[in-house]
Amino acid sequence: MLLAIDVGNTNTVFGIYRGSTLVKHFRIESARSKTADEYGVLVEMLLSRLSLGGDDVQAAVLASTVPSLADTFARMLRTYFEIDPVIVGPGIKTGMPILYEPPRDVGADRIVNAVAAFERVRGACIVVDFGTATTLDVVSAKGEYLGGVICPGVQISADALFTRAAKLPRVELARPPRIVGKNTVNAMQAGIVLGQAALVDGLVARIKEETRFDPVRVIATGGLAGLIAPETKAIEEVDDWLTLDGLRILFERNRSASAGG
């Protein structure tokens, strides 16, 4: 089986694939202070809870937005699983022209999402990823990565209100009952949740106007996609596992680079 690891700034998501099927998954905090040994023990324990052992994993693919954690997880895989992982980064075969300047500056997760989305729709698409940052990535009908937009994420915006405005409380990220808040909590929820939805709708409209793509499919992913996407007009589909699927696809395109492949 293949272990796909998506290391984000806030959380790290693991997916276990048998062929093209995601059979198990789990999520942990992305703690920069943890060592490769600590992560090795933790991953072994989580696999055991899923009735899996290290011998069940024959290969791994890894993408990280945190450079130091990429090294940590790579060491963990080599030490605890005897696997040399495919690491998404400069030099990897993506099958997608990267029209970004310079190409190496594009976050690994953004390329992975773009590859997965284009593989699915085989046409122009926009991926909206609600992570630590909210990103919009644009792929042409020819399968070219054109670039995108990076915005403060939902949680970052909420935290900024709490820490920078003395009288505002920390609030639950939830849909408010109405756009016009009748109290401070609901007013903040309207600004954070519905404001992010309006942001996405406005950006997607501007992207469509600039690129003149017709049709273009808009797919959302990320931990908060389930909360924000239903409040938008632009997002047509939510796929919680889009990044993991993209990692699986990139592994298949680069399997000769893996000792376990």
The encoded tokens of residue 253 equal: 């395109």
**Domain for residue 167, yes or no?**
yes
Indicate whether 156 and 206 sit together in one domain. Answer: yes
**Domain for residue 183, yes or no?**
yes
Range of the domain at 61: 2-87
Among 56, 87, 118, the domain boundary falls at: 87
Among 87, 122, 150, the domain boundary falls at: 87
- Report which of 151, 122, 107 is spatially closest to residue 243, judged by C-alpha positions: 107
The pLDDT of residue 256 is: 60
For 212-229, what is each residue's pLDDT tens digit? 999 999 999 999 999 999
**Domain for residue 95, yes or no?**
no
**Domain for residue 260, yes or no?**
no
**Domain for residue 69, yes or no?**
yes
> Which is catalytic among the residues 37, 71, 105, 109?
109
For 29-67, what is each residue's pLDDT tens digit? 999 999 999 999 999 999 999 888 878 899 999 999 999
Is pLDDT of 129 > 80?
yes
Indicate whether 65 and 109 sit together in one domain. Answer: no
**Domain for residue 221, yes or no?**
yes
CB atoms within 10 A of CB 208: 18
What span, in angstroms and rounded, lies between the C-alpha atoms of 12 and 10? 7
CB 241 within 8 A of CB 211: no
What is the count of structural domains for the chain?
2
The pTM for the full model equals 0.91
CB 248 within 8 A of CB 261: no
For 144-182, what is each residue's pLDDT tens digit? 999 999 999 999 999 999 998 888 999 999 999 999 999
CB atoms within 10 A of CB 133: 21
CATH code, 170: 3.30.420.40
Q: State the first-to-last Cα distance of the chain, in angstroms, to the nearest integer.
A: 10
Indicate whether 115 and 180 sit together in one domain. Answer: yes
Indicate whether 83 and 146 sit together in one domain. Answer: no
Indicate whether 155 and 109 sit together in one domain. Answer: yes
- Whether 109 is catalytic is yes
